Amino acid sequence: MLADFGYGILVITFLVSIYAIFASVFGQVKKSQKWIESSRLAMQLTFPLTTLASLVMIYLLVSNDYNVSFVYQVSSRAMPTYLKVTALWGGQAGSLLFWSWLLSLFMTAVTLRKWDRDREFLPWVVLVASITLAFFIGLNVFYENPFTRFWQTFSGVTPATFRPAGAIPFTPADGSGLNPLLRHPGMIIHPPMLYLGFVGFVIPYAFAIAALVTGRTDDRWTHITRRWTLWAWLFLSLGLVLGGRWAYDVLGWGGYWGWDPVEIAAFMPWLTGTAFLHSVMIQEKRGMLKHWNMILVILTYSLVIFGTFLTRSGVLSSVHSFAQSAIGPAFFIFIGLTFFASAALLIWRWPELKAEAQMTSVLSREALFLLNNLLFIAILVVCFWGVIFPLISELVTGAKVTVGPPFYERATGPLFAALVLLMGVAPLSAWGHSTLKTLGKAIVRPLVAAVIVMAAILVYFVLNPHLINGYFPYAVIGLFVTIMTAFVTLYEFWRAAEARSRAQKENIFVSLWRLAGRNRRRYGGYTIHLGVILMAVGIIGIEMFQTETQGTIAKNQSIQLAGYTMTFKELQEFDLLDARGAPMQNVTRATVDVHQNGQYLTTLYPRRDYYYDSEQPMTIPGVRSTMQDDFYILLVDWQPMSNIGATFKVYHNPMVNWLWFGSAIFILGTFIAAWPEKDPEKAPARARKSSLAYQPGD
Q: What is the tens place of the pLDDT at every residue in 667-691?
A: 999 998 888 765 444 444 444 443 3
Report pLDDT for 674. Answer: 85
Report pLDDT for 517. Answer: 84
Residue 597 has pLDDT above 70, yes or no: yes
Grouping H, G, I as helix, E, B as strand and the rest as coil, residue 398 is: coil
Instruction: Assess contact for 472 and 498: CB atoms under 8 A.
Output: no
Domain finish residue from 178, 196, 225: 178
Structural domain includes residue 262: no
Report pLDDT for 268. Answer: 96
Structural domain includes residue 436: no
Q: Cα 512–518–523 angle (5° rounding)?
A: 60
| Torsion angle in degrees (nearest 10) through CA of 324, 341, 277, 385 | 50
Mean pLDDT, residues 642-648 taken together:
79
State which residues form the domain around 601.
Answer: 547-657
Which residues are within 8 A (CB) of 524 and not within 5 positions of it... i.e. 6 or more apart? 516, 669, 670, 671, 672, 673, 674, 675
Q: At 399, phi and psi to the nearest 5?
A: -120, 135
Tell me the C-alpha distance between 605 and 163, whole Å. Answer: 51
**Residue 565 neighbours by CB distance under 10 Å:** 18
Cα of first residue to Cα of last residue in the chain, in angstroms, is 62
Tell me the C-alpha distance between 659 and 599, whole Å. Answer: 27
**Cα distances (Å, whole numbers) of residue 546 to 231, 466, 539, 633:** 34, 12, 10, 13
Report pLDDT for 10. Answer: 97
Mean pLDDT, residues 401-419 taken together:
91
Structural domain includes residue 245: no
Instruction: Assess contact for 652 and 561: CB atoms under 8 A.
Output: yes
Which residues are within 8 A (CB) of 585 and not within 5 positions of it... i.e. 6 or more apart? 78, 575, 576, 609, 610, 611, 612
Structural domain includes residue 565: yes
Position with higher pLDDT, 395 vs 86 = 86
Report pLDDT for 322. Answer: 43
- Look up residue 388 and give its DSSP letter: H
Residue 579 has pLDDT above 90, yes or no: no
CA dihedral sign, ordered 421, 426, 429, 435: positive
Structural domain includes residue 612: yes
Structural domain includes residue 70: yes
The overall longest dimension of the chain from CA atoms, in Å, is: 88
pLDDT digits (tens, 9 = 90+) for 88-124: 998 889 999 999 999 999 999 999 988 888 899 999 9
Instruction: Assess contact for 194 and 244: CB atoms under 8 A.
Output: no
- Report the domain count for the chain: 2
Domain finish residue from 121, 145, 178: 178
CA dihedral sign, ordered 215, 221, 223, 226: negative
Mean pLDDT, residues 502-521 taken together:
86
Instruction: Assess contact for 77 and 71: CB atoms under 8 A.
Output: no
Report pLDDT for 114. Answer: 86
**Looking at 119-128, 355-364, 593-602, which range is the least confident one?**
355-364
**Residue 658 neighbours by CB distance under 10 Å:** 21
Structural domain includes residue 500: no
- If you write DSSP's letter for every residue of 598-637 in order, what string do you get? TEEEEEE--EEEEETTTTEEEEE-EEEE-SSEEEEEEEEE
Structural domain includes residue 297: no
Residue 504 has pLDDT above 60, yes or no: yes
Instruction: Assess contact for 413 and 375: CB atoms under 8 A.
Output: no
CA dihedral sign, ordered 64, 70, 73, 75: negative
Grouping H, G, I as helix, E, B as strand and the rest as coil, residue 648 is: strand
Residue 470 has pLDDT above 60, yes or no: yes
Residue 178 has pLDDT above 90, yes or no: no
Report pLDDT for 380. Answer: 97
Tell me the C-alpha distance between 471 and 475, whole Å. Answer: 6
Which residues are within 8 A (CB) of 185 and not within 5 positions of it... i.e. 6 or more apart? none
583-596 and 599-604 strand pairing:
antiparallel
Position with higher pLDDT, 468 vs 276 = 276
Tell me the C-alpha distance between 506 and 490, whole Å. Answer: 20
| Torsion angle in degrees (nearest 10) through CA of 366, 368, 369, 372 | 160
Residue 34 has pLDDT above 70, yes or no: yes
Residue 697 has pLDDT above 60, yes or no: no
The percent of residues in the chain predicted with pLDDT above 70, rounded, is 94
Tell me the C-alpha distance between 426 and 424, whole Å. Answer: 6
Average pLDDT, the chain: 89
Domain finish residue from 149, 178, 207: 178
Report pLDDT for 316. Answer: 58
Residue 36 has pLDDT above 90, yes or no: yes
547-554 and 558-561 strand pairing:
unpaired
Report pLDDT for 397. Answer: 82
Tell me the C-alpha distance between 669 and 528, whole Å. Answer: 5
Grouping H, G, I as helix, E, B as strand and the rest as coil, residue 472 is: helix
